[in-house]
Structure 1
Amino acid sequence: MLIDICVCTFRRASLADTLRSLGHQVLPDGSDLRIIVADNDEVPSAQELVTRIAQDLPVPVQYVHAPSRNISIARNACLDAATGDLLAFIDDDEVAPPTWIADMHALLASGPYDAVFGPAIAEYPDTAPAWIRQGDYHSNVPTARNRIVQTGHTCNALIQIHAPCFHDQRFLLEKGRTGGEDTEFFFRAWRDGGKFAVSDTAKVFEPVDPSRLGFAWIAKRRFRSGITYGRLERGRLSLIKAAVSLCVTILKIAYCMVRTLIAVFSSNQRNFWLLRAVFHSGVLTSILSVKEQELYG
């Protein structure tokens, strides 16, 4: 059994730590590992780093140049390059413990699952504001709705790439700069019959960039998440239900703003409710079919 681990990268020195952590994986019995790095820069800026780190790793590393500045292009390049039975995704600013793949595989093999997801745990610098630490706004923990896992993220995923639900699936290029392309990809696979699960033990760890420790950055991310969530839901709604959803979303925004005003002197509670309002504003934007803002590239 061959497991391909795919890492999409764009001008990040942290890629070196990611690759070293992948080279120390304790693999399931009877399996081999290969690492695929898809460089999304216009020029092959990561090639030298990948070549240098690969010399010290016990597993083969394949470098793919996948320009430019559209993460969906890089993710699709990984799909094209992968030849294994299983395909894993991890981000280029994350570090995986040695048991990461083994824990993911154990859950995948325990049931009729087409993909499993795990948490990406944020590691905050000492300069992180207390309200961000308490709210843990940078960790990415997949969830289930009514005990059903409908989607996940490529920051921590293991896929049965030959499963019928992933047949001919591609990451949408139009979402490659707005974000949410991975959520949409997996939701589409779930709609095509995919069965997903969440591992509580297969964690990866992400040191948070200090530039992302402000309210504005988190708010942009929440707004985009609201758009993604709203568009996924809207695809399942009739016109009447969409109108009802519009009214409910406006009420949710109003409620969150009232709670924000009530908690104006508490940074933890005030920012929590204000970010909830931002999220629902993203949902409202999706219902009104406003064009998504490009956050990346």
Structure 2
Amino acid sequence: MQNVAVVIPTLRRPAMLERALRSVFAQVGSLDRIAAVVVADNDPDGSAAALIDRLRAETPVPLTYAHAPVPGVATARNIGLAATDAPLIAFLDDDEAASPGWLAALLQAQSQTGADVLFGPIRGRVPDGTGWTTPYLERFFGRDGPTQTGLTDQIHGCGNSLMVRATALPGPAPFDAAMDQTGGEDDRLFTALQARGGRFGWAADAWVDEFAPPDRATLNYALLRAFAYGQSPSQMAAARRDWPGVARWMLIGAAQAAVWALASLALTLLRRPARAETLDRTARGLGKIFWTKGFEPKLYGAAMMRRSTT
């Protein structure tokens, strides 16, 4: 029964994309369930097409190329979805590599829990040379969760996830293209699902590795993304027009920023590696305060294209 599609958005990272694809081709116990592996190429030049043509001759599963020429993370996900009608959708990012039992573990967890969205754990990998920030960056690009599979209240990002299309991905373009350059399209989707009574699950054995490229494996980039993560609770409250909720999150953010900024100052003076963690928490607190559009960092789409050419 071929009822699941693996969707991999990509933007000018051919070596990483090939690694991600080969990890899907090497899946154990689930290849007969894969209706398609869809690569959503977000490069206006369509640079991933040649790789897909080359790999089609050696893949054990149908491989589909979908061109998403307008750079943007939400647009790429929507174009990937439009290229398949599979009722179950697994998302893998192009900088990730799935363990051999990844998809089987996600499918088993969905059957066990009945969740609309399943998340799995991620091991963060960073290049050599990141020095004292290495432990922090590995945690930042990783994802931890319960040791047992089951339902969860914790919401994560799209990378390494499985979704029931009918309930979790409504309409032809469920990811909000307004978030193309900033990210957060998955937060918005999952918050709406949560409001509808949707259920989330954790697949404890669905491991992937995430390989942070050199341009992202820096403290500055991680703190910028931490700031964006911090904006999400305030932004989601604003989207619901829950203005008391916005005020509450801003107050929480102010308290967090004040406490962790002081801790960061002390740890920086002492040159302690733990300052990376306190700086991260400071950034997330600031994000809750400065959540409006003028403060949204541009992390995806055109910003990714600029980084790929420098």
Q: TM-score, normalization: structure 1?
A: 0.90
Q: Cα distance 1:132–1:236, how it changes in 2: closer, same or farther (>3 A)?
A: farther
- Provide the rounded CA distance (Å) in 1 between the counterparts of 2:140 and 2:52: 27
What's 1:21 paired with?
Answer: 23
TM-aligned CA deviation for residue 205 of structure 1: 0.7
What's 1:266 paired with?
Answer: 271
Q: Cα distance 1:47–1:246, how it changes in 2: closer, same or farther (>3 A)?
A: same
Q: Cα distance 1:188–1:254, how it changes in 2: closer, same or farther (>3 A)?
A: same
CA displacement, residues 6-60 of structure 1 (integer Å, 9 cap, x when unaligned)? 0101111211111111111123496344201111111211100111012111111
Aligned pairs (5 A) from 1:104-253: 104-134=106-136, 136-141=138-143, 148-163=152-167, 165-168=168-171, 170-235=174-239, 238-253=242-257
- Provide the rounded CA distance (Å) in 2 between the counterparts of 1:160 and 1:222: 28
Aligned pairs (5 A) from 1:47-58: 47-58=49-60
Q: RMSD of aligned C-alpha atoms?
A: 2.2
Structure 1 residue identity aligned to 2:247: A
TM-aligned CA deviation for residue 138 of structure 1: 3.4
TM-aligned CA deviation for residue 142 of structure 1: 6.2
- Provide the rounded CA distance (Å) in 1 between the counterparts of 2:136 and 2:280: 14
Deviates more, 1:261-270 or 1:75-84: 261-270
Structure 1 residue 11 and structure 2 residue 16: aligned? no
CA displacement, residues 109-138 of structure 1 (integer Å, 9 cap, x when unaligned)? 002211101122112233222333246343
> SS at the partner of 2:53?
helix
Percent identical pairs in the alignment equals 27
Structure 1 moving runs of 4+ over 6 Å: none
CA displacement, residues 119-168 of structure 1 (integer Å, 9 cap, x when unaligned)? 22112233222333246343242669xx84353322101111123x4322
- Provide the rounded CA distance (Å) in 2 between the counterparts of 1:48 and 1:78: 18
Structure 1 residue identity aligned to 2:213: D
Q: Cα distance 1:117–1:292, how it changes in 2: closer, same or farther (>3 A)?
A: same
Structure 1 unaligned residues grouped into runs of 5+: none
> Any conservation in 1 of the 2:101–2:206 contact (CA below 8 Å)?
yes
Structure 1 residue 76 and structure 2 residue 78: aligned? yes
Pick the aligned partner of 2:287 from 275, 278, 282.
282
Structure 2 unaligned residues grouped into runs of 5+: 303-310
> Any conservation in 2 of the 1:67–1:73 contact (CA below 8 Å)?
no
Q: Cα distance 1:124–1:289, how it changes in 2: closer, same or farther (>3 A)?
A: closer
- Provide the rounded CA distance (Å) in 1 between the counterparts of 2:32 and 2:83: 22
Q: TM-score, normalization: structure 2?
A: 0.87
- Provide the rounded CA distance (Å) in 1 between the counterparts of 2:289 and 2:60: 49
Q: Cα distance 1:81–1:246, how it changes in 2: closer, same or farther (>3 A)?
A: same
- Provide the rounded CA distance (Å) in 2 between the counterparts of 1:85 and 1:171: 17
- Provide the rounded CA distance (Å) in 1 between the counterparts of 2:110 and 2:249: 35
> SS at the partner of 2:274?
helix
- Provide the rounded CA distance (Å) in 1 between the counterparts of 2:236 and 2:248: 16
> Any conservation in 1 of the 2:136–2:276 contact (CA below 8 Å)?
no
Q: Cα distance 1:246–1:17, how it changes in 2: closer, same or farther (>3 A)?
A: closer
TM-aligned CA deviation for residue 189 of structure 1: 1.8
> SS at the partner of 2:141?
coil
What's 1:94 paired with?
Answer: 96
- Provide the rounded CA distance (Å) in 1 between the counterparts of 2:239 and 2:155: 15
